[in-house]
Structure 1
Amino acid sequence: MAVYTQVSAESLSAFLAKFDVGELVSAKGIAEGVENSNYLVETTRDRFILTLYEKRVSVGDLPFFLSLLDHLAADGNPVPPAIPDREGQTIHTLEGRPACLIRFLSGVSVSHPTPAQARAAAQALGRMHASLATFEGVRANGLGASHWRPLLDQCGESMNQIAPGLYDRVARSLDAVLADWPSDLAVAAIHADLFPDNVLMLGDRITGLIDFYFACTDIRAYDLAVMHSAWGFDAQGNPLDPAIGRALVAGYADSFALTPQERAALPVLARGACIRFLLTRAWDWLNTPAGALVTRKDPLAYLRRLDWYESNPKAFV
């Protein structure tokens, strides 16, 4: 989450008047994340998240995201569907951007997960995958494996401004990952971005899975690999207690069985996840506009993760 587009109190009040949600009390920009503009909105009746879609999110993809959330919510998953206005519409325009009013979910995101919390979160991912087995929507992964080399080329030698030799270092790893990338694993709708800050918890209990705006159709086990690369390391990319990584795999298997082929592919899927987030972070690092209320993420934190996976090929055994 982030704030690129400023919304005035007058514009927000007029926007909320379309809904049966009460009158505006306060609105606060949320700086975390890098993709969309987000506000925590409090009305006389409740709290909501206002999202204005920026950058990589196309308005044409919103029906996919919203139908996926509706599908998951109907099956009992703790996800935040969009709030319809009085005419039943969920997709709107505000300050020239596509916008949705989203149900607010209570809970906090953990920065230093315990194995028990990691297991609970992975169980929730497995339950989500079980629910999505009957979801018919399809959306190509615009940041999937076939897009990594073009993104590397777009970043180009400018990556060396982040760290000397970074471009060549990533290019070598990308060659190796693409050579081993699996083509015979199950494909389904996935979250593709289930970082700790996209999971809300109260103690060890999951209260929310949020921020589905990278959701897409891709290798299902890649979702677990993304989660492992996000939960198993600290913010600087240093590995945490190995029990956390084991808890993630075990928790997922509690809810949704991994095939032997999927388990065997997790090392290369995790290396691919590192490259994907390193590249998008590098692009954002080099191109975030001045004055945006946004917390840029360190690309090198994912280089350290990539180094770790390359040095520990049996991490998932």
Structure 2
Amino acid sequence: MAVFTEVSLKEATAFFKTLDLGRLKSLKGCAGGIENTNYFADTDQGQYVLTLFERLSFEQLPFYLHLMKHLAERGIPVPDPAGDKNGDILHQLKGKPAAVVNRLAGHSQLAPETAHCAAVGAMLARMHLAGRDFKRSQPNLRGLEWWNQTVPLILPHLDEAQRVLLGSELAFQNHIQASPAYNSLPSGPIHADLFRDNVMFEGEKLTGFFDFYFAGCDRFIYDISVCLNDWCVDLTSGAHIASRAQAFLAAYESQRPLTAQERQLLPAMLRGAAMRFWISRVWDFFLPREAAVLQPHDPSHFERILKQRVQHPLVL
């Protein structure tokens, strides 16, 4: 989350009135994240998150919002977009696409234990199953095509060893994704960004997934890999933590068993997921957009994870 577009209390009050969500009492900009403008908004009826979309278009956004609505209706704890009197859940504020969702209870667990990893694994599998009958389709916009387009833009900001590593990995991922085994992998709507700060807990109870604005239709094993690269690694070294990964995968498979092809390609997908976030963090660090509140992430973190995944492949 970040603040690129300033919204006054007066402007937000008038906006919330059109959604019949009660009288706005407070509005506070959110400092985390890097993609959209976000505010915490409290009314006399509840707590909400107001989002103004800075990169996603009016044409792209219905996929994300209706996916959240679809999952919420099927019992997955995700933010539920608020509709206006006509039932529309995509709005406009200050010339930008906008949405309001309920604010989930709990807090992010930034130092997860095995129980938290297991809870995320089980809920991710439930989410994948719940999304199978979602009618809308949109590709993962931060997938292979975006990797190929973005790598040339960031290479000037890397040293020689980094350029060699990134070029080699990108070639490997292009090879993998052209294979019959990859194209036979189970797929559907995925979150694609389910990091520790995008999940809420009360103690060990998972209370929700949020920030679906990188979601798209892609391979389920890629979604799993994104999670394993965040929830189940040492943040200092990027090294794999086996106990957490085992808990995550066992819980996931209690809801949706992995196929033989998914097991085979998991090491490659872990590398691809690490590379994707290394690319985006280099891009955001060296080519940032101006924002009133912005906290770019350290690109070297996912460089370390990629090196770990190449040197020490996960064996199931």
1:212 aligned partner: 212
1:115 aligned partner: 114
Aligned-residue offset at 1:187? 2.0
1:93 aligned partner: 92
Instruction: Give the Cα separation in 1 of the matches to 2:212 and 2:146.
Output: 19
1:225 aligned partner: 225
Q: For 1:293-304, what aligned pairs fall within 5 Å after superposition?
A: 293-304=293-304
1:284 aligned partner: 284
Q: Secondary structure at the match of 1:178?
A: helix
User: Where in structure 2 are there 5+ consecutive unaligned residues?
Assistant: none
1:242 aligned partner: 242
Counterpart of 2:194 in structure 1: which amino acid? L
2:21 aligned partner: 21
1:36 aligned partner: 36
Q: Deviations over 1:122-148 (max 9, x none)?
A: 100000011112112110111112321
Counterpart of 1:228 in structure 2: which amino acid? L
Instruction: Give the Cα separation in 2 of the matches to 1:71 and 1:197.
Output: 22
Q: Secondary structure at the match of 2:92?
A: strand
Residue among 145, 168, 174 paired with 1:172: 168
Query: CA contact under 8 A between 1:246 and 1:316: conserved in structure 2?
Result: no
Query: CA contact under 8 A between 2:3 and 2:30: conserved in structure 1?
Result: yes
Instruction: Give the Cα separation in 2 of the matches to 1:204 and 1:73.
Output: 21
Instruction: Give the Cα separation in 1 of the matches to 2:43 and 2:94.
Output: 20
Q: Secondary structure at the match of 1:258?
A: coil
Counterpart of 2:226 in structure 1: which amino acid? V
Q: Deviations over 1:133-166 (max 9, x none)?
A: 2112110111112321211012231234xxx642
Counterpart of 1:279 in structure 2: which amino acid? I
Query: CA contact under 8 A between 2:274 and 2:303: conserved in structure 1?
Result: yes
Q: Does 2:5 match 1:5?
A: yes
Instruction: Give the Cα separation in 2 of the matches to 1:220 and 1:124.
Output: 13
1:269 aligned partner: 269
Aligned-residue offset at 1:111? 0.7
Q: Does 2:53 match 1:72?
A: no
Counterpart of 1:70 in structure 2: which amino acid? K
- CA-atom RMSD in angstroms: 1.5
2:194 aligned partner: 194
2:134 aligned partner: 135
Query: CA contact under 8 A between 1:237 and 1:302: conserved in structure 2?
Result: no
Q: Secondary structure at the match of 2:40?
A: strand
Counterpart of 2:301 in structure 1: which amino acid? A
Instruction: Give the Cα separation in 1 of the matches to 2:219 and 2:146.
Output: 15
Query: CA contact under 8 A between 1:34 and 1:294: conserved in structure 2?
Result: yes
Counterpart of 1:130 in structure 2: which amino acid? L
TM-score w.r.t. the length of structure 1 is: 0.94
Q: Deviations over 1:45-69 (max 9, x none)?
A: 21100001012x2221211112111
Counterpart of 2:156 in structure 1: which amino acid? E
Counterpart of 1:172 in structure 2: which amino acid? S
Instruction: Give the Cα separation in 2 of the matches to 1:195 and 1:95.
Output: 30
Instruction: Give the Cα separation in 2 of the matches to 1:236 and 1:4.
Output: 30
Identity of matched residues, %:
35
Instruction: Give the Cα separation in 2 of the matches to 1:114 and 1:316.
Output: 21
**Change beyond 3 A, Cα 1:269–1:276:** same
Q: Deviations over 1:253-301 (max 9, x none)?
A: 1111101110111100010001111111111111213453111111110
TM-score w.r.t. the length of structure 2 is: 0.94
Q: Secondary structure at the match of 2:41?
A: strand
Counterpart of 1:159 in structure 2: which amino acid? L
2:256 aligned partner: 256
Q: Deviations over 1:67-111 (max 9, x none)?
A: 111111111110111111233222111122111111111011111
Instruction: Give the Cα separation in 2 of the matches to 1:71 and 1:81.
Output: 9
* Structure 1 stretch displaced more, 96-105 or 228-237: 228-237
Instruction: Give the Cα separation in 1 of the matches to 2:14 and 2:234.
Output: 42
Aligned-residue offset at 1:241? 3.3
Instruction: Give the Cα separation in 2 of the matches to 1:33 and 1:20.
Output: 28
Aligned-residue offset at 1:13? 1.1
Instruction: Give the Cα separation in 1 of the matches to 2:61 and 2:315.
Output: 35
